Chains A and B, each alone.
Chain A
Amino acid sequence: MSSSSLLKIFFSRSAKGTYSHSFPGLWYRAVTISVNSFCTTLSSAVDETTEDTALERSKTMSKAMRAYLERAKAHDKFIAEQAVEYEIGMRHLANIMGEDPETFTTEDRDRSIAYLFPSGLFEPRARPLMKHPMELFPKRKAAEFDESGRPFHTLFYTGRPAYYQVLHDITGVIMELDHFSSRMSRLNVSKDQEKSLNLGGSEWISKSELETKIIEPVKDDDYAFFIKSMNRMVNHPYSYRAEDFIMTYRKEVKTGQATQEIPKLMYTSDGVPYMTAYGGRKTARANVTVYGHGSGKITINGEDILYFSHIQEREQVVFPLHFSGLLGHVDVVAEVEGGGTTGKAGAIRFALSLALRPFLDSEVVEKMRLAGLLTRDPRVRERKKPGQKGARAKFTWKKR
């Protein structure tokens, strides 16, 4: 290894997700900055590893085993080299920035890279970065068999031992629950109705999360089967006994009111409480201000509710007021632009619902959430596709 490639900054994360085991300098795009060559001694420390004694022993080893060992060794060596380069690079970076290399942290590193290589790219992952090779290159499984080629795991020959181990665990737990339930019925003990599994506020981990959890690729059908099996366990009457196990495969969902922070009411110089909110639907955008102690006056772009000629739009604007019971008690001033009439009305409805929250009890706000008033309608017009008639519709096709 030459000592010239010392400060290594990756200009994209193209290396991520690659499972290749040959490590020439070609498979990632890197910029090297030669600073000076005082680190020759450091980098040469990894150049020559000691003569391998394992290969001597390996005359009885299978070819596959030997190939694996070589690959693993090459990978470890590559990572070690990269780590040394990274350490040196960090010191150089600290020197370039005129800071103390001993106290140079990862935050300092990221800040320096952003300073030295300013990027206008929108996607953060596409910007220049410098990271420890352990973070940068995908984690690989440790050896799953010993030197004689004998696998550690009983399910090794299924090809996906970790996945099938999960299924095996699930079956084990279900059998345990069945056993417990039959024992209870033998003892004539009915189930304590108060004890039950409450899974509210959590959901199953996604396929990719399962994959990272067990460090193994999972097929779509296999994931579906995993979910089916877990649901079967949850539906067991004594499933609360396996709560710990179930919860390891669930994650928290952040919905409900806990995540929505309601801002405090503001007051005009006359002491009238008011609240402003912004909302949108389709391409329409609305800014709505709600004034307390009002008489129910509605102003939309300087006009009253007759700004909308159709009844449906008027209904939409009044919907949050009517639902929350504040119709006739507050004044509404809305400024709306963009989109069509339906979009405008929807934008006002959403912004108005948001602005009404501080005037209401948390119970009513939760009711409004359930009524679908506090959700931004994400549906927008889908673009037309080339080669077909519309977004989904195809041209009529005749064979001849």
Chain B
Amino acid sequence: MAMSVIRKFSLLRIGLRSEFLHLRCASGLPDVLTRSYSKYPPSYVEPLYTQKSQEEAVEVGALEELKFKPVKAAYVFQNNSVFHDPLVVKFSQHIMKAGQRSLARELMVQTFEQIKRIQIKKKIEAESPEEGEMIEANPLKIFNQAVENCRPVLHLVPVKRGGITYKVPVPLTEKRSYFVAIRWLKEAGREKFRTVHFPEKMAKELIDAANNEGRVVKKKQDLHRQCEANRAYAHYRWS
């Protein structure tokens, strides 16, 4: 039934405009014709916009294949700068509201500044110099560590069996787990008093998460605990 609906809809779209008709094979479904809304034809590949990524492609031997493929134009948020970090860009895009990219970027910069200030202060106030050495003061490292610590492995999906909805633990894909971690961190950063600025709160949350404590890490652990409790329903995933 679902299949026929998809087919019907896709054919309907084809009838409207067929110039961007591309073949796509959705996972788990048979080949379905869908209309891609992309300006680029499906033969275009994503750009390898850093020297590093191109060197990696050479090592893997993927360059031969790309030789004849047309490449999409690099996006505005991509560049070869040493300060470029894809995860930071992703995070700032999640922070962004109403397309204010420069504001989102500014908030990211301020967050990193706050992290640096807090960590330097901790270093200074440390009881012994050895303890001070241990404190990480690189905001980029703290940020990456925080996101890694917040990534869940499993989540709960409602599955209806015999009129009862069970919460079934299902593993997350890598991409999805990053998305969930970023969303949780962002929500935690926005939950604050009016007088507190976003970068201040975000910096605190990130430092907490990097130390494997704080609300977001607790949220992840709660989810994992719930998944563990519902392990008896795991078989509903396939039966």
Interface residues of A (CB under 8 A from B): 200-203, 220-221, 224-225, 227-228, 253, 255-256, 310-312, 315-316, 318-319, 322-323, 342, 345-346, 350, 366-367, 369-380, 392
Contacts and interface: CB of A to CB of B under 8 A. Distances in A.
Contacts of B49: 371-372
A202 B80 CA distance: 31
B68 A253 contact: yes
Contacts of B57: 370
B1 to A, nearest CB: 18
27 contacts: A200-B67, A200-B68, A202-B68, A221-B31, A225-B31, A227-B23, A255-B69, A256-B67, A312-B77, A315-B81, A318-B79, A322-B81, A350-B73, A366-B67, A370-B57, A370-B66, A371-B47, A371-B50, A372-B72, A372-B74, A372-B78, A373-B74, A375-B71, A375-B73, A379-B39, A380-B39, A392-B37
Interface in B62-96: 63-74, 76-81
Interface of B: 11, 14, 21, 23, 31, 33, 37, 39-40, 43, 46-51, 54, 57, 63-74, 76-81, 101-102, 105
A372 B105 contact: no
B53 to A, nearest CB: 9
B14 A220 contact: yes
A81 B51 CA distance: 67
Given A200-B64, A224-B31, A371-B47, 14 more contacts: A202-B68, A203-B43, A221-B33, A312-B76, A315-B79, A319-B74, A322-B80, A323-B80, A342-B76, A369-B71, A370-B66, A372-B74, A376-B73, A380-B39
Contacts of A311: 102, 105
Contacts of A253: 43, 68, 70
A25 to B, nearest CB: 33
A378 B40 CA distance: 8
A257 to B, nearest CB: 9
Contact of A371 (B48, B65, B67): B48
Contacts of B77: 312
Across the A-B interface, give the 4 residue pairs with the lowest CB-CB distance, nearest first. Answer: A372-B47, A372-B74, A377-B73, A375-B73
Nearest to B46: A372
B72 A375 contact: yes
A378 to B, nearest CB: 5
Contacts of A350: 73
Contact of A200 (B43, B51, B65): B65
B43 A323 contact: no
Q: Is the interface of B mostly helix, strand, loop or mixed?
A: loop
Contacts, number: 101
Contacts of A203: 43
Contacts of A323: 51, 80
B101 A370 contact: no
Contacts of A221: 31, 33
A371 B80 contact: yes
A253 B50 CA distance: 26
A222 B192 CA distance: 57
Nearest to A311: B105
Contacts of B64: 200
A369 B44 CA distance: 12
A220 B21 contact: yes
B23 A224 contact: yes
Nearest to A225: B31
A302 B81 CA distance: 25
B143 to A, nearest CB: 18
Nearest to A200: B68
A375 B70 contact: yes
B172 to A, nearest CB: 29
Contacts of A228: 31
A316 B51 contact: no
A318 B84 CA distance: 13
A371 B74 CA distance: 7
A346 B78 CA distance: 12
B73 to A, nearest CB: 4
Nearest to B14: A220
Contacts of B31: 221, 224-225, 228
Contacts of A371: 47-50, 54, 71, 74, 80
Contacts of A376: 73
Contacts of B67: 200-201, 256, 366
A342 B73 CA distance: 14
Nearest to A324: B80
A378 B54 CA distance: 24
A369 B51 CA distance: 12
Nearest to B81: A315
Nearest to A253: B68
A203 B49 CA distance: 25
B47 A370 contact: yes
B93 to A, nearest CB: 12
Contacts of B105: 310-312
A203 B70 CA distance: 12
Given A200-B65, A370-B66, A319 B47 contact: no
Nearest to B33: A220
Nearest to A315: B79
Contacts of B72: 372, 375
A248 to B, nearest CB: 19
B81 A312 contact: no
Contacts of B76: 312, 316, 342, 345-346
A255 B70 contact: yes
Contacts of B74: 319, 371-373
A256 B68 contact: yes
Nearest to A228: B31
B40 to A, nearest CB: 7
A224 B70 contact: no
A348 B99 CA distance: 22
